[in-house]
């Protein structure tokens, strides 16, 4: 993800990882029928099932949060802070009890191999804009051992299905410009450019001069 920010809109497996927080914004208008239940099974190179995350999954997902946060901190140390596993666990435990946050995991027969975090968000009506209610995909990742098997794409398809079930007609996400593989993944399932955000880093004058 990188300095220039692009917003994206739809009328998101090779990288299999994404963390929101800047860069490009993609958006999808979800027009799918809601799934009949909360557990979905998808055909991939591995037999993958997607289900709601539980307390027992927190430590595995926390490993991913720390891993992705370190990638962002390496790329933009002036923006992103580092945190440890315990911090991530506490954050996830709080998120699991938040009705506006959906955390779902992809599993094979024995373990969690990927996950996503989707928040239901809204903005109020203003003089300039209508009120909005939408899904914000904060994070999606597949365990590095299980990448390039189609799991990221089925997670994204599940995001779209669950969004339909929640009555969300739009899903947005942000991706830094440097993450070209993730951008290709999002393109492949229908996320499209929604707008752009540009950044200029100002060099402050020293000593009033």
In a domain, 35, yes or no: yes
Q: Which residues of the chain have pLDDT under 50?
A: 1-17, 21-24, 30-36
Give the pLDDT confidence of 89-120 residue by residue, as tens digits.
Answer: 999 999 999 999 999 999 987 899 999 999 99
Q: State in Å, rounded, how far the first CA of the chain is from the last one.
A: 35
Nearest residue to 140 (alpha-carbon basis) of 132, 148, 151: 151
pLDDT (0 to 100) of residue 66: 96
* Count of the separate structural domains present in the chain: 1
In a domain, 192, yes or no: yes
Cα R_g (the chain), whole angstroms? 18
For residue 43, how far is the Cα from the chain centroid? 22
**CA distances for 94 relative to 18, 113, 185, angstroms:** 21, 22, 29
In a domain, 154, yes or no: yes
Residue 85, C-beta contacts closer than 8 angstroms, at least 6 positions apart? 59, 62, 63, 66
pLDDT (0 to 100) of residue 46: 57
In a domain, 106, yes or no: yes
Q: Please tell me whether the overall predicted TM-score, pTM, comes out greater than 0.85 for this model.
A: no
pLDDT (0 to 100) of residue 7: 35
Residue 163, domain extent: 5-53+100-197
H helix runs in the chain, sequence order: 58-75, 85-96, 151-165, 180-188
pLDDT (0 to 100) of residue 3: 31
pLDDT (0 to 100) of residue 184: 85
In a domain, 18, yes or no: yes
């Amino acid at each position: 993800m990188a300095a220039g920010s692009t917003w994206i809109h739809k009328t998101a497996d090779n990288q299999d990882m994404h963390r929101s927080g800047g860069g490009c914004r993609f958006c999808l208008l979800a027009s799918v029928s809601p799934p009949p239940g909360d557990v979905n099974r998808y055909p991939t190179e591995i037999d993958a099932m997607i289900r709601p995350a539980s307390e027992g999954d927190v430590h595995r997902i926390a490993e991913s949060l720390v891993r992705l946060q370190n990638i962002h901190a390496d790329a933009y140390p002036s923006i992103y802070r580092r945190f440890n596993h315990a911090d991530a666990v506490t954050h996830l435990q709080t998120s699991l009890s938040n009705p506006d946050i959906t955390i779902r995991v992809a599993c094979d027969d024995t373990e969690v191999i990927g996950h996503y975090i989707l928040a239901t968000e809204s903005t109020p009506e203003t003089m300039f804009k209508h009120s909005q209610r939408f899904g914000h995909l904060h994070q999606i990742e597949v365990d590095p051992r299980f990448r390039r098997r189609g799991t990221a794409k089925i997670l994204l398809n599940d995001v779209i299905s669950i969004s339909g079930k929640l009555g969300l007609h739009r899903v947005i996400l942000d991706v830094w410009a440097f993450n070209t593989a993730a951008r290709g993944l999002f393109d492949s399932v229908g996320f499209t450019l929604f707008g752009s955000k540009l950044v200029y880093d100002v060099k402050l004058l020293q000593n009033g001069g």
